[in-house]
Structure 1
Amino acid sequence: MARDLHHLLLLAALLQQLSATSAGDVATGSGGEKVHVAIYYESLCPYSARFVTNHLLKAYRDGLLDAADLTLVPYGNAKVDAHGAITCQVGSSPSPFGCRDAHTDVGILACCMQHGPDECLLNTVQACAIDAWPDVKVHLGFIYCVSDLVMKNRHREWESCFQKQGLDPKPVTECYKGERGHNLSLEYGRQTAELVPPHQFVPWVVVDGKPLYNDYGKFEAYICKAYKGYPLLEACRSPGMEAENDVYGRL
């Protein structure tokens, strides 16, 4: 009986391992590694919001994000001064009220980004959402909801996205009102500053370390081009999935 029990335990362990392997094969294909996709953007930039609500949503619905390791970086054209304050683009000055005019408790953030203090706030809120909910499908759902409101000129209703997505607002609220949110923004600023070549505009889309420049609207095609798994992803069989080869040759 002991031997039979031992065999049953071994069989259960083997089935569990096979199940995990099969799940991985479904997500990334046989022998295929996920494609690294990074999107550097600003929360209130209309081009960024349009990219999220149109292209990124389509990639999610088509199942392409199952083959991608997606990183969202909500920072864009902000700058960090010598004192660690986050300010807007070159040539502008920080808000005299610090970040308190954006309803945070940390005064060291200067919220005068390209689209004003609301953008500073929402960049930090989205950074906190990514931190609070590491599952890309969860934080992407929240960011999509906020971006959809941006496109409708209703971005100040962003807190409604907690209820719409069925999410607890507490971790994000505590984050963006405290130093955690500021530190996350500093980290995203560092990542943005270290881009090679530097970003020229937002959204700035990078696939497997290579920027797509003005061709970012075809980022799905570049995922298909970079993906080496088998079988070919169903979405990659669609017409119009041809990526421009010269973009990959610019570096």
Structure 2
Amino acid sequence: MTSHRVVFALIAIFVLVLLTSDPSSSDDSHKVKLSLYYEALCPYCANFIVNSLGKTFDNGLISIINLRLVPWGNAYLKDNKTWVCQHGPDECLLNTVEACAIRVWPDLGAHFSFRFIKCIERLHLENNHSEWKSCFGREGLNSKQLIDCYNTGLGFEVIYLLHFMCFVLMGCKFTVQLERSYAYETASLKPPRRFVPWVIVDNLPLEEDYQNFVAYVCRAYKGPSTPKACGSPSIEVNSSPKANSIGQVCYANVAKNQTSMAAAQGKP
């Protein structure tokens, strides 16, 4: 008799879980993959993160998105030795900090790493990115793991620890393994990215139409429950996207920014 009661109790709990589960939550297998290739101090990347991607957490669209952020952008390896960022050494530092945030809090959909990155990018829009450490307190996040990641590095590789980098980046060791993997991924994009922000939705580069990413996400989603954010009559793919983002991107320097696959892999 006792065993029957246990079975009935388990069945009741199972049914209760089914009935109380959020019907709007999406099966991960149906989620649309959205990848953002960016750099920390490009103002258009910052604006996109703060004012566009940020809204997906407010309107529920994030429930159908598998979000990936890749903080490398238009950085390049000079002579396969020196790591140079488009907006200077501060950008190299913050690219690495944001890479560490993604590593420490890997589930961007859970909001922790995104909140932190969004905070840094908002500070940049306010011309105050040097105060990035204040984002720990602002977002109620523990700084230890991220600072450890930044200071000690992961899989530290001597080839990237040059005097230039140590001097310019205030003598700190940093996570070259993470940034090298992002360099390789960015260099291997097909077609090659021409600027940042470079947004890809389910393997489709949006190019100049990146600001219209919601329409592409909604069109690509094949899951059972569509978020209300996809129901707006203004949600449609632009047939003439190239005029949308003129001047709203940080262009890559073709002569310098095409980090080679060999360089990104650390090969001689």
CA RMSD of aligned residues (A): 2.2
Classify the secondary structure of the residue corresponding to 1:134.
coil
User: Against the structure 1 CA distance between its residues 151 and 165, is the aligned structure 2 distance closer, same or farther, given a 3 Å change threshold?
Assistant: same
Q: How far did residue 135 of structure 1 move?
A: 2.6
User: Against the structure 1 CA distance between its residues 19 and 170, is the aligned structure 2 distance closer, same or farther, given a 3 Å change threshold?
Assistant: farther
Q: How far did residue 18 of structure 1 move?
A: 2.6
2:52 corresponds to:
55
1:153 corresponds to:
127
Mind listing any 5+ residue stretches in structure 2 that lack a counterpart? 155-174, 242-268
Is contact 2:24-2:225 (8 Å) kept? no
Is contact 1:32-1:227 (8 Å) kept? no
CA distance in 2, matches of 1:210, 1:75: 19
User: Against the structure 1 CA distance between its residues 131 and 224, is the aligned structure 2 distance closer, same or farther, given a 3 Å change threshold?
Assistant: same
TM-score, length-scaled by structure 2: 0.75
1:132 to 100, 104, 117: 104
TM-score, length-scaled by structure 1: 0.80
Deviations 1:27-71 (A, max 9, x none): 227x97000000000000011001011111122211111100000
Matched, 1:77 2:74: yes
Q: How far did residue 75 of structure 1 move?
A: 0.5
Q: How far did residue 239 of structure 1 move?
A: 2.8
Deviations 1:189-232 (A, max 9, x none): 11111111111100000000110000000111111111112343
Classify the secondary structure of the residue corresponding to 1:129.
helix
1:4 corresponds to:
4
1:210 corresponds to:
204
Matched, 1:34 2:28: no
User: Kindly, what percent of the aligned residue pairs are identical?
Assistant: 43
Is contact 1:48-1:203 (8 Å) kept? yes
2:150 corresponds to:
176
Which consecutive aligned stretches of 4+ in structure 1 deviate over 4 angstroms post-superposition? none
Matched, 1:120 2:111: no
Is contact 1:35-1:227 (8 Å) kept? yes
Is contact 1:132-1:172 (8 Å) kept? yes
CA distance in 2, matches of 1:67, 1:160: 31
1:166 corresponds to:
140
CA distance in 2, matches of 1:245, 1:230: 27
Classify the secondary structure of the residue corresponding to 1:243.
coil
1:91 corresponds to:
none
- Give the stretch that moved more between structures: 165-174 or 222-231: 222-231
Q: How far did residue 16 of structure 1 move?
A: 6.7
User: Against the structure 1 CA distance between its residues 122 and 16, is the aligned structure 2 distance closer, same or farther, given a 3 Å change threshold?
Assistant: farther
Q: How far did residue 81 of structure 1 move?
A: 5.8
Mind listing any 5+ residue stretches in structure 1 that lack a counterpart? 89-112
Aligned length: 219
Classify the secondary structure of the residue corresponding to 1:40.
strand
